[in-house]
């Protein structure tokens, strides 16, 4: 099926319409509107770039232009096993799997060159946008910024811990204040995502507790087969071993509160933070300016 798909015309048209119809309905949910607006601002790639985040109607129009011949050509040009990793986790006979992989995928190659997409850091103006979503009970607040960093940066371990303490768990500073203390929202969290390629990427009393909790969470993550498959596949692609994880955890384990605070203050600039709010603010009588 993977190497020689049937490319049924009926199935193609059915799947195509299933993808198009939802996109033709303008989104009204505050969460969808706010998230899309922020993602588009933080990913300023030109239309036609694979990293461009299109509006729903733009995506629908693009899908309408795709033909079955286009799909066949894309499959012939890009689908192959010449640039990939096969990761298997669990109890299995290695020789048997190696033999099967060689027989099924070994000769499946083409001449299309492979290159990883890299997002390089680019500074751009922050925004503060309000989106009205009439007659919607919920509201959404999204904020984000770009940071110039890779996962080989010396501040990376400190920033992982800083994010975990700020909003990476239910007991972190932000969700604890917003949800548990003030009861303003059920959900509140922060994310810190840093690439391996390219460069487009605190609380002294609780540092030791946070370090243990974060390291425990990383250990538990590796005990789950699906997560371990993703880790091993990523490491294979980046020419790394599990030694990389061991070294990262050692760095986190030796962090001090001053180091975490220093890294957080160095890379987090409130003036560079883009904000998007979505909700029925007219009905609520708030944010009218």
Q: Is residue 160 part of a domain?
A: yes
pLDDT in tens, 1-28: 888 899 999 999 999 999 999 999 989 9
Neighbouring-strand partners of residue 141: 277
Helices (DSSP H) in the chain: which residue ranges? 9-23, 30-42, 56-64, 68-78, 94-105, 156-167, 173-175, 207-222, 225-237, 243-253, 257-267, 281-284
User: What is the pLDDT at residue 202?
Assistant: 44
Are residue 100 and residue 141 in the same domain, yes or no? no
Give the CA angle between residues 45, 46, 52 to the nearest 5°.
55
User: What is the strand order of the sheet 274-279 is part of?
Assistant: 128-132, 274-279, 140-144
Are residue 99 and residue 235 in the same domain, yes or no? no
User: What is the pLDDT at residue 214?
Assistant: 92
Is the CB of residue 165 less than 8 Å from the CB of residue 203?
yes
CA distances from 34 to 85, 130, 147, 231, 264 (A): 36, 9, 21, 31, 25
Residues in the chain, pLDDT under 70 = 198-207, 288-289
Are residue 99 and residue 132 in the same domain, yes or no? no
Instruction: Select from 115, 110, 215 the least CA-distant residue to 161.
Output: 215
Q: Is residue 3 part of a domain?
A: no
User: What is the pLDDT at residue 199?
Assistant: 65
Helices (DSSP H) in 124-170: which residue ranges? 156-167
Neighbouring-strand partners of residue 277: 130, 141
Are residue 152 and residue 236 in the same domain, yes or no? yes
Is the CB of residue 117 less than 8 Å from the CB of residue 193?
no
User: What is the pLDDT at residue 229?
Assistant: 93
User: What is the pLDDT at residue 5?
Assistant: 93
For 179, which DSSP code?
Answer: I
Q: Is residue 194 part of a domain?
A: yes
Is the CB of residue 83 less than 8 Å from the CB of residue 40?
no
Q: Is residue 122 part of a domain?
A: no
Q: Are strands 140-144 and 274-279 parallel, antiparallel or unpaired?
A: antiparallel
Q: Is residue 113 part of a domain?
A: no
For residues 165 and 190, what is the distance between their CA atoms, to the nearest angstrom? 10
* SS3 assignment, position 126: coil
Are residue 62 and residue 133 in the same domain, yes or no? no
User: What is the pLDDT at residue 169?
Assistant: 86
pLDDT in tens, 227-263: 999 999 999 989 999 999 999 999 999 999 999 999 9
Q: Please count the structural domains in the chain.
A: 2
Q: What share of the chain is helix, strand, coil (3-state, %, to 5)?
A: 50, 5, 45
Are residue 160 and residue 218 in the same domain, yes or no? yes
Tell me which residue range forms the domain holding 81: 9-105
Q: Is residue 172 part of a domain?
A: yes
CATH of the domain at 228: 3.30.830.10
């Amino acid at each position: 099926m993977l190497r020689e798909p049937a490319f049924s015309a009926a199935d193609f048209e059915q799947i195509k319409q299933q993808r198009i119809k939802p996109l033709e309905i303008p989104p009204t949910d505050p969460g969808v509107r706010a998230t899309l607006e922020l993602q588009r601002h933080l990913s300023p790639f030109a239309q036609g770039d694979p990293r461009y985040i299109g509006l729903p109607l733009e995506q629908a129009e693009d899908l309408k232009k795709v033909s079955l011949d286009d799909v066949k050509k894309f499959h012939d040009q890009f689908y192959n096993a010449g640039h990939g990793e096969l990761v298997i986790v669990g109890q299995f006979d290695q020789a048997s799997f190696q033999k099967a992989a060689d027989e099924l995928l070994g000769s499946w190659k083409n001449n299309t060159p492979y290159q990883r997409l890299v997002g390089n850091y680019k500074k751009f103006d922050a925004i503060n946008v309000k989106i009205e979503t009439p007659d919607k009970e919920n509201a959404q607040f999204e904020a984000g910024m770009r940071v110039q960093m890779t996962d080989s940066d010396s501040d990376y371990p400190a920033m992982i811990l800083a994010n975990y303490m700020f909003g990476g768990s239910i007991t972190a500073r932000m969700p604890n204040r917003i949800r548990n203390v003030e009861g303003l929202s059920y959900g509140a969290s922060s994310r810190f995502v840093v690439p391996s390629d390219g460069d487009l990427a605190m609380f002294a009393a609780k540092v030791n507790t946070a370090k243990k909790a974060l390291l425990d969470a990383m250990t538990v993550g590796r005990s789950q087969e699906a997560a371990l498959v993703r880790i091993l596949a990523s490491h294979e692609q980046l020419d790394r071993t599990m030694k990389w994880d061991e070294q990262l955890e050692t760095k986190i384990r030796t962090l001090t509160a001053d180091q975490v605070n220093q890294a957080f203050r160095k890379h987090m600039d409130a003036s560079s933070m883009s904000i998007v709010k979505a909700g029925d603010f007219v009905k609520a009588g708030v944010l009218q300016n």
